[in-house]
Structure 1
């Protein structure tokens, strides 16, 4: 049972005990690559990254089957979150209105720390938001979630092929997705090529996050945090890890 108290933790509070344990382990010659991040602090989730993923999969299975539980929507639960939050996963997903993570994973208030940007494009605000969830809320899992028929990726394909032009800040978005499109092997089937580009964009965003964020890379290397990429199928509602 996750405690409902606030989770406004400093980096020292969140990681200090883990660092001490790591140092002690290293002096004995053993590896310390998976030291606990929160050192038993009751204000953060007790789930590991793998347990958090299994929880997401179970919720998505319910969503696919139409057997949702719609958890954590009651008045009492909402009131319990007034003083703080304790999400068990970060979801970076596309802004597409057809892919709301809380519904896709059948979770409720306070369960997921959701950041949405077209094409799962990373900017400083997106990365900073993820870092906050990892460092101050003790979230063990980050999922970058692409989806079938992504408009941002489709538009980028058209621009790369010379079939369209974009203006305004949409051009910035397209430039951010363009490397994924150019890195994807050509395919004579447009639908298959789009799907491959969507998967590549999710994978690339997950990789760029680890490269650009010292906080995330440190948490992955030393504190058991994991970064997964996945795709969502509009027709079935199924999420598949890449």
Structure 2
């Protein structure tokens, strides 16, 4: 799925599926707005400076419309990537966007207490946690139970290696499998019922966010 594809029920967003967009119309419009912000970021034309003046203007309250669940990688700064101001975006981070209890609880809080109707699961290329899991599977000498992150990422890493062609880098496949896996996990949470969960990948070199297929 390409971010600027022409298909879909709302201009700018390809099919997540079409039924998802019809069910989550307002959240889908928020997604369009965030992708437009990413376009400004890529073009080097951000709307928001996020300086102290803006921070003071938003100090008394917040009205976020979306949450981004992403990796801890220092190069992935969601507020900049989507060109959002203070108070517009909630960000939850774990290595490899592993949906542990604290992360899921934070997203559930965002939905219940702050009315967030959109969660973007944002993976990124060259993810260190994904690569660590791939190396562990390849070495076949690592007990995944001894390392929480490796244990949590073992399935997408092993599947990517099994499906990769000879000489193919399995990391991009593992990353996308983990994004889809996280989207599916969040989609099964009763406390996130009614929230649109979208998967995406951030390109470290171009700055572009690309939506990915649900399955």
Is 1:105 matched up with 2:82? Answer: yes
Is 1:188 the counterpart of 2:166? The answer is yes
* Residue from 79, 82, 92 that aligns with 2:56: 79
* SS of aligned partner of 1:64: helix
Alpha-carbon distance change, 226 to 97 in structure 1, aligned in 2, over 3 angstroms: same
- The question of whether the paired residues in 2 share the 8 Å contact of 1:89 and 1:139 is answered with yes
- Aligned pair partner of 2:202 in 212, 224, 232: 232
- Aligned residue for 2:129? 152
- Is 1:51–2:29 an aligned residue pair? yes
Partner in structure 2 of residue 123 of structure 1: 100
Distance change (3 Å), C-alpha of 1:138 and 1:157 = same
Give the gaps of 5 or more residues in structure 1.
1-32, 36-46
CA drift of 1:120 comes to: 0.3
Tell me the alpha carbon deviations over residues 60-117 of structure 1, each in whole angstroms, 9 at most, x when there is no partner: 1111111222255451x42333332111110001101111101111112111100111
Give distance in 2, aligned partners of 1:125 and 1:164.
30
Distance 2:143 2:44 in 1: 39
Partner of 1:140: 117
Unaligned runs of 5+ in 2: 1-21
Contact 1:158 1:164 in 2 (8 A): no
Work out which of the two has the higher radius of gyration on C-alpha atoms and give 1 or 2. Answer: 1
Superposed CA RMSD: 2.3
Q: 2:141 & 2:45 partners in 1: Cα distance? A: 42
State the number of aligned residues.
Answer: 189
Distance in 2, Cα, partners of 1:167 & 1:226 = 32
Q: Any idea what SS the aligned residue of 1:103 has?
A: helix
Listed as ranges, the matches of 1:160-239 within 5 Å are: 160-162=137-139, 165=142, 171-184=147-160, 185-191=163-169, 193-211=170-188, 213-216=189-192, 218=193, 220=194, 225-239=195-209
When normalised by structure 2's length, the TM-score is 0.80
